[in-house]
Amino acid sequence: MSKNTNKIDFYDDANHDYRDFWVGRDYEHNAEVVAFNKLLNKRNYKVAMDYGGGYGRITPILLDHADKVILVDPSIKQLEIAKEKLDSKRVEFLRQDKKDNVPAADNSLDLLVMIRVSHHLPDPNPVFTEIARSLKPGGEAIIEIASEAHFINRLRYLKQLKAVPKEPVPVGVHANGKEDDTPFVNHNPKTIERQLKQVNLNVIDKLSVSNLRHKVFKDHLPQSAMIAFERAAQRPLSHLNFGPSIFLLVKKS
Ligand SMILES: C[S@@+](CC[C@H](N)C(=O)[O-])C[C@H]1O[C@@H](n2cnc3c(N)ncnc32)[C@H](O)[C@@H]1O
């Protein structure tokens, strides 16, 4: 498996707007809002970091739970959009200039969220080490895993009489159809949970998110019903690693 590279072009490409990805994906966004509210459960944090926060899609949710949010991203373009969109004195914008680096002092963060970034980490270990370093003892992180082990994939692997790989699996083609250095991978949630434990980040809650992310459901069910299903099913289905997106709440011991 190749190492992460410093060159992160995909989100800076002038011909590609990451905001377009979210057009028609209200269900997925709202399913993530449900997940955040479940995991954060009305708690309030002093300093939270939105790591790989992009144009700040998730930042407003964090502002409801934190006094201050630091939005970190390697993409200049995403940060520029975020600065226009988020007019709050409680948000600090930071460009990440070194891959895998969490730009924060040791033991300084109360909460870190990393949503839809694992997809770009063929080797997430260095980032997990950095998250563990920068969280305060007892600090928490929400880490979203792009899962290779979701239910439909498990059926596919079963059909081929294969097990879901423990290692990251390269996936997909770029939305802009261009080759660049941005990797796209899916992970095995069991491997990720083991890797987190190795750096003293212990899983204290887990949710299975976007469980109905399939054309059949999206074409035929009203979104209100799909979101009601998410509210009811995210925790029970997490025990089966059912959905394509797994949210882990971890605590630094
Ligand atoms: C799919 S977007 C997700 C943005 C935001 N978290 C969200 O959920 O809307 C992935 C973001 O991760 C950033 N990114 C890519 N590779 C990264 C890396 N190795 N470390 C940190 N951020 C990275 C990209 O610049 C991009 O803004």
Distance of CA 40 from the midpoint of ligand 1 (Å)? 21
The pLDDT score that the predictor gives to residue 99 is 78
Question: What's the pLDDT score for residue 203?
Answer: 98
Residues in the chain predicted with pLDDT less than 50, given as ranges, are 1-6
pLDDT tens for each residue of 145-172: 999 999 999 999 999 999 999 999 998 7
Residue nearest to atom 27 of ligand 1 (CA): 54
Q: Residue 29, Cα to own-chain centre: how many angstroms?
A: 12
- The pLDDT value recorded for residue 4 is 46
pLDDT at 177: 55
Pairing of strands 245-252, 201-209: antiparallel
pTM for the model stands at 0.94
For ligand 1, mutation pick of 62, 78, 100, 120 (most atoms within 8 Å of CB):
120
Q: What is the model's pLDDT at position 3? A: 44
- All structural domains of the chain with their residue ranges: 10-252
Q: What pLDDT sits at residue 232? A: 98
For a ligand 1 pocket test, name from 32, 117, 184 the mutation site with the most ligand atoms within 8 angstroms of its C-beta. Answer: 117
Distance 159 CA to ligand 1 centre (A): 33
Is domain 10-252 in CATH 1.10.3720.10, yes or no? no
Nearest to 75 by CA among 149, 10, 154: 10
List the beta bridge partners of residue 187: 147
Pocket of ligand 1 contains residue 52 by CB under 6 Å: yes
Q: Answer whether 78 contacts ligand 1 (Cβ < 6 A).
A: yes
For residue 111, give both structure tokens.
């909460």
Tell how far the Cα of 184 is from the centroid of ligand 1, in angstroms: 11
